[in-house]
Amino acid sequence: MLHALDLATAHCPLPAARCMLLSSVSCILAPMAWILLIIAGLLEVVWAGFMNASQGFTRLWPSVWCLVFMIASFALLAKAMQTIPMGTSYAVWTGIGAAGAAIVGMVYFKEPASAIRMVCILMVLGGVAGLKMTH
């Protein structure tokens, strides 16, 4: 037999103790925090690409776009950190950014695409997935 508390926290992806402390609205928003975090990580990839294209901030428009995407990425990361613990959210954000930037570097900037680099990117993404599964 389910108790009222069980019904209130059954949908919540957070540990039961945290759900009891948080309102049900916060628990419903937890999946949205993960979506914001993933978008923030993808924006990190975009700003890193523009940073490279700016040639050390010597080209105006790539520099401007770099800063725009950087601010958006940090804002979404900060919003996600209101729900997801700092260590997890920062590690996921940098993991997405690092793996994505490496892939963008190989595809658009003709950086080497060796097998060992691909394995390392997969390991980073595996770590990101592991952090998501343990949260």
Cβ–Cβ < 8 Å for 17, 5: no
How far, in Å, CA of 87 to CA of 109, rounded? 31
pLDDT in tens, 31-67: 899 999 999 999 999 999 999 999 999 999 999 999 9
- Report which DSSP code applies to 17: H
Residues 6+ apart with CB under 8 A from 98: 124
Q: How far is CA 117 from CA 2, 51, 98, 102, 130, in A?
A: 49, 21, 12, 8, 20
Contact of 128 with 134, CB cutoff 8 Å: no
Residue 128 has pLDDT above 70, yes or no: yes
Residue 15's pLDDT is 55
